[in-house]
Structure 1
């Protein structure tokens, strides 16, 4: 074959292979917690896919564990076998996923944890956490509740029930810890009479609240680990005709925002799943580009109450 033909063939191969190489320049896999469980996670997935599609240097492999720890571990192992350039994990369980994360680390694949961190003994195996500071969120929710009790003049006698997220899930642990640490600091005489999990599920949280209402004649406040659960608790109180209860949540869902506008739900923490998804993808891209990324890459999540909600747009989820 002539030199000219060899050059022509090489050029043709480059043209044909070029777009494939560009598309695969950064193969980023994500395994999510449970997309179908609530509108936050559904919106997060849509936003992640949109952000990946908008970046010509990224090819995303998008997986969902469906809340199943074993399935998520298998998904991480599959991504390792695919030799992706980076793995993003939204952990189903902050402790149980650590062995899989360790395997990714040993394979030389950087791991970004999104939204809910893994347990601290797995920190050596991840490059960055991208998401909200959930301890701070819990602390801010306690401040919202305490301030309202003080306005009502019941800060020395109020009784609170607490509905947490999924057991073993780092976000649930951190928000609960932040709330239960901060509340006695700002309102030392407020009593948390009982804590039960709502598993991030509105219907289960309604059932938990129904049991609380039967058990306790005096409930002044409800703290729920997110607004989805908080509105479930509100629905139970409505059905039982129990008025005057102060509801405070976190992750302000549209249903929480609407309940605040109706004067039935007092406050929450404003958090965007779109920001969450975009930040996770950008963190992985920045790592692969060799940029310095904070180990704890938090985005801000401010307080929102009936008093200042006009400053915030209604959540899209």
Structure 2
């Protein structure tokens, strides 16, 4: 099947879309599924997700997919949802740019009778009634598991009663960032009650910004024993700052194990993370949409597993492709 590029205009926003799939089947069972993603170019996870989604859609002759990217712009994403509604797609998959701001657009789709599947990062709870299913990782659990990894390492080192931690969170207002932080913040005191989180600052999923945040932490605090980052892209930015400053012995723990995090673990510079596959993420979202269209019973929170990965067990995991 061919992937053809077409440009559509929705309101005043120009939208680039990939239309995927062949002609409608004779029995009329072709499903038209639209997806609006958060920001494909921002990191390798999202790029790999898009490529995997396109491949999965192309491999299914019953699917005709319209693939859109909001470029991190809430207004553009809302316009994209409205455009998909006008196209009368059978389902809309949304990777929200902002968990609160997209709720009115999701409500519009719901009112138009189009099921909405939220992928990767959930919308705010106020919008749950308009959503058929969330497909993605359990981000609160990821944060909790990261806290456990860090506590276990501090205990092994014998510093569990005095360690100080700084945290670099994701993009403010973004559900994944909020959930990973809350999971970490809630779990760490349960397992290591005497460890202190001295400060949290956002790194916006960006390696360079996270490096700058960490540089400021290193100037401000003489004693940093651990760094928790909402993903490994940010975590490696923080690691780079520590290496440049000559600060050794800091335990780095992330979530969403990127290739750069995996490689830093192999070098012994980065301790642990949470293993999450963008391929699994994309394929699960598409399958969830297909199941919803077919009237199958789909759980509202349709999680795929994301296990702990540390230097101790990383040989059990293949290096991430992103």
**TMscore range, shorter length:** over 0.9
Instruction: Give structure 1 stretches of 5+ with no counterpart.
Output: 1-16
Looking at secondary structure, tell me which structure has more helix per residue. Answer: 1
Conserved in 1, the CA contact under 8 Å of 2:107 and 2:127?
Answer: yes
Aligned equivalent of 1:213: 218
TM-score (norm 1): 0.93
C-alpha distance in 2, partners of 1:197/1:159? 18
Q: Is residue 192 from structure 1 mapped to residue 234 from structure 2 by the alignment?
A: no
Aligned equivalent of 1:241: 246
Conserved in 2, the CA contact under 8 Å of 1:115 and 1:131?
Answer: yes
Conserved in 2, the CA contact under 8 Å of 1:135 and 1:174?
Answer: yes
Conserved in 2, the CA contact under 8 Å of 1:250 and 1:270?
Answer: yes
C-alpha distance in 1, partners of 2:168/2:259? 19
Q: Which of 95, 102, 112 is matched with 1:90 structurally?
A: 95
Aligned equivalent of 1:152: 157
Aligned equivalent of 1:130: 135
Residues 153 and 22 of structure 1, relative CA distance in 2, 3 Å threshold: farther
Residues 114 and 38 of structure 1, relative CA distance in 2, 3 Å threshold: same
Residue deviations 1:105-156 (CA, integer Å, cap 9, x gap) = 0000000000000001100000000000000000000000000000000001
Moved over 6 A (4+): none
Please state how far the C-alpha of 1:290 moved relative to its aligned partner.
1.2
The Cα RMSD (Å) is 1.3
Please state how far the C-alpha of 1:289 moved relative to its aligned partner.
1.0
C-alpha distance in 1, partners of 2:27/2:260? 42
Aligned equivalent of 1:314: 319
C-alpha distance in 1, partners of 2:73/2:243? 33
Conserved in 2, the CA contact under 8 Å of 1:23 and 1:58?
Answer: no
Aligned equivalent of 2:43: 38
Residues 39 and 18 of structure 1, relative CA distance in 2, 3 Å threshold: closer
Secondary structure of 1:50 counterpart: helix
Number of residues of Structure 1 aligned to a counterpart in Structure 2: 301
Instruction: Give structure 2 stretches of 5+ with no counterpart.
Output: 1-21
Aligned equivalent of 2:305: 300
Structure label with greater radius of gyration = 1
Looking at secondary structure, tell me which structure has more strand per residue. Answer: 2
C-alpha distance in 2, partners of 1:227/1:282? 27
Residues 24 and 79 of structure 1, relative CA distance in 2, 3 Å threshold: farther
TM-score (norm 2): 0.92
